[in-house]
Structure 1
Amino acid sequence: MDRLALRTVVSHVRYNGEELRVVRVESPPKRIVAQASYNYYDIHADRRGAVALAAAWSLAKRSPRSLIHLPIRANLPPLDIAPASPTLDVVFVHASAQFRASEWKSVRARSRVGAAHRIELGTIRQELPGLDEADFSATTHADFPHHLRYTTAAETLFVIGSAPAFEREGAFVREFVERFDEAAAMPHYCVELWPTRWRPGHSRRIGPGGLHIIRETELWPTGPARPAQ
């Protein structure tokens, strides 16, 4: 199994009087898009896009002092996806960084220039647990602190959590990648990551509350990506 790797640009900007490290994935795959829908934040991806997502997720898990930026909002969605919802970048950030999503537009503008850096990770099995290895037993406890949460700002979806949250929920990302090829015979293949193990009928959230990663191999447009603003 191949090792995960990312070509990145690493920049450092001042934020709240301290230095903030921004790791931007360079030239991400074109066949991966993120959008907000009614119940979920949707990520549609082909296999190459799914591997890039797993690599960014794995890097985020181990990078509590960095923002991991997957710049995909210029990508065009599959032709069968409703165009009403705009496409989004994705940023992974640890809750301990106390980063305000409302500040992202300014930070993004100041992080355009940086040093090119290739980041080598382990294989997906080394980086992320399997579903049979991840411990979900405490996630429905009222005082359990290690959930992922999601918000949007400046055309960007923020995935926010602790290292244990990224580790545990990363099991779904690994499952998605590892079963991607065998799911070719299925009319629909996806994984769902909710703030807890409860499903929508048990959630008090209004609007998108979970992450929905969907296998897409056909109906991708062939034209150039939109220029990112």
Structure 2
Amino acid sequence: MRLHTTFHTARLGATEFKVVRPARTPARAVLVDTSWFLNGRFDQEAAQIAAGLWALAATSPRTLVHLPIRANAKHGPEGEPLGRGRPLDLVLLHHSLQFAPSRWKELRGRLGPGRPRTVDLPGPDPDADPGVPDLHHRENHDRFHQDIHGETLFMTGSTTMFRMGAGLFADLARRGPGQLFHHPGTHYCRSLYCHPHDRDLHLEYCEEWPAGHSDGRS
């Protein structure tokens, strides 16, 4: 899997932090904070980019991985207004970095244009089972924790969890188009289960978007 990114650095006090973003932010991707769930909707390209970013988070524990998509949520797929929820960006944060999400807005404001970098990542096994283990079980300590600061959802977890998330997005991109093609009127979705005190992340594959959501292709 080849991922085109920009790498950024900024200091907070004596500490320098690294932030990576996709070189081109997918327009057909939204993440919304609602009362019960965190709802994400992605077309195929956006899901593929997201899969790459989650895979990068699994291999780069000293880097914050940022997907800046909150501006996309003026209208959702098929023109559905998303005013019922709060649009969010996404940051993937390895727990070992010990970055305080409350400082994200300050760090984000110090990021420059960044340097382009192409990253080669191992692709997900197409024959792997994309199922999700029971992360609500009390004996499972390897779970995501969530914070929302600066209109951004922070998903803090381990290498194992980020690899699992990458597999879910890859599965969304791989199986979603076929589901909608062979079974019109249905939908394809996956869920990422988090800490019992947090909300689950519901991911849905969507093909129909308003005209303003360009896919970026000429």
Q: 1:98: which partner in 2?
A: 98
Q: Kindly indicate whether the alpha-carbon contact (under 8 Å) linking 1:150 and 1:210 is maintained by their aligned counterparts in 2.
A: no
Tell me the distance in 2 between the aligned counterparts of 1:81 and 1:88: 15
Unaligned ranges ≥5, structure 2: none
- Change over 3 Å in CA distance of 1:224–1:39 after alignment to 2: closer
Q: 1:200: which partner in 2?
A: none
Tell me the distance in 2 between the aligned counterparts of 1:53 and 1:183: 20
Q: 1:195: which partner in 2?
A: 194
Instruction: After TM superposition, give the deviation of residue 140 of structure 1 in Å.
Output: 4.6
Q: 1:160: which partner in 2?
A: 156
Q: Kindly indicate whether the alpha-carbon contact (under 8 Å) linking 1:129 and 1:168 is maintained by their aligned counterparts in 2.
A: no
Instruction: After TM superposition, give the deviation of residue 177 of structure 1 in Å.
Output: 2.3
DSSP-derived class of the 2:27 partner = coil
Instruction: After TM superposition, give the deviation of residue 149 of structure 1 in Å.
Output: 2.0
Instruction: After TM superposition, give the deviation of residue 214 of structure 1 in Å.
Output: 0.6
- Provide the TM-score with structure 1 as the length reference: 0.81
Q: Kindly indicate whether the alpha-carbon contact (under 8 Å) linking 1:129 and 1:170 is maintained by their aligned counterparts in 2.
A: no
- Provide the TM-score with structure 2 as the length reference: 0.84
Over the residues paired in the alignment, what is the CA RMSD in angstroms? 2.4
Tell me the distance in 1 between the aligned counterparts of 2:72 and 2:34: 17
Aligned runs of 1:1-229 on 2, under 5 Å? Answer: 4-15=1-12, 17-76=14-73, 77-78=76-77, 79-125=79-125, 130-131=129-130, 136=133, 139-184=135-180, 185=183, 187-195=186-194, 203=196, 205=197, 209-218=199-208, 220-223=209-212
Report the AA paired with residue 88 of structure 1. L
DSSP-derived class of the 1:122 partner = coil
Tell me the distance in 2 between the aligned counterparts of 1:30 and 1:224: 6
Deviations 1:156-175 (A, max 9, x none): 11111011222234433332
Report the AA paired with residue 149 of structure 2. A
Unaligned ranges ≥5, structure 1: 197-202
Tell me the distance in 2 between the aligned counterparts of 1:5 and 1:82: 32
Tell me the distance in 2 between the aligned counterparts of 1:222 and 1:154: 28
